[in-house]
Structure 1
Amino acid sequence: METNFTISLDSIAEVNAFANMIAHFTSEIDLSSGRYIVNAKSIMGIFSLDLTQPLTLTVHGNDEIDEITEAIAPYIKK
């Protein structure tokens, strides 16, 4: 099962903090912008996306969904 969130990363510091936090989870997690999809654990991958637009975070599986949802709360686009 997949769960999607719309998030925003507005600065280099946010991208760095986000990637480091996401790296601690074992679930496969993707970030997408338009038709480009990257591994959310890859700082270089994140920087290849258009960060001026909202991003879609896709979590594959439900094992850690509660922990991931809590961890990404500050980045979820309202």
Structure 2
Amino acid sequence: MKETNKMIRINDVEEAKKLVSAAMKCPFDIDIIAKGKFSIDAKSILGVLSLGVEEPLELKYDGFDENFEAVILSLQS
């Protein structure tokens, strides 16, 4: 499957928890690229919480999960 890149914005802790929860249910890797250089595992709540809120973030993954896509849609800027 082709790698997917999407831009999102996490505005608060609840949105971070929702993203991590959905990511953990996916059988594929999901990376978050912050400031164009830091890569964080989207399945790590500590990693996601370490990111600045309201910063544009890039998601990179190569799979499909309907629930995960719905969560991403709610976070897209």
Matched, 1:31 2:40: no
Alignment of 1:1-78 (within 5 A): 1-34=2-35, 35-59=37-61, 61-62=62-63, 64=64, 67=66, 68-77=68-77
Instruction: Compute the RMSD of aligned alpha carbons.
Output: 1.5
Task: Give 1:69 shift.
Answer: 2.6
Question: What is the CA deviation profile of residues 9-60 of structure 1, one whole-angstrom value per residue up to 9, with x for unaligned ones?
Answer: 100111111111111111110011111100001110112222231110111x
Q: Which amino acid aligns with 1:43?
A: I
The normalised TM-score by structure 1 is 0.82
Gaps in structure 2 of 5+ consecutive residues: none
Q: Which amino acid aligns with 2:59?
A: L
Question: How many aligned positions are there?
Answer: 74
How far apart are the structure 2 equivalents of 1:33 and 1:19?
16
Gaps in structure 1 of 5+ consecutive residues: none
Where do 4+ consecutive residues of structure 1 move more than 3 Å? Answer: none
The normalised TM-score by structure 2 is 0.83
8 Å contact 2:8–2:75 — kept in the other structure?
yes
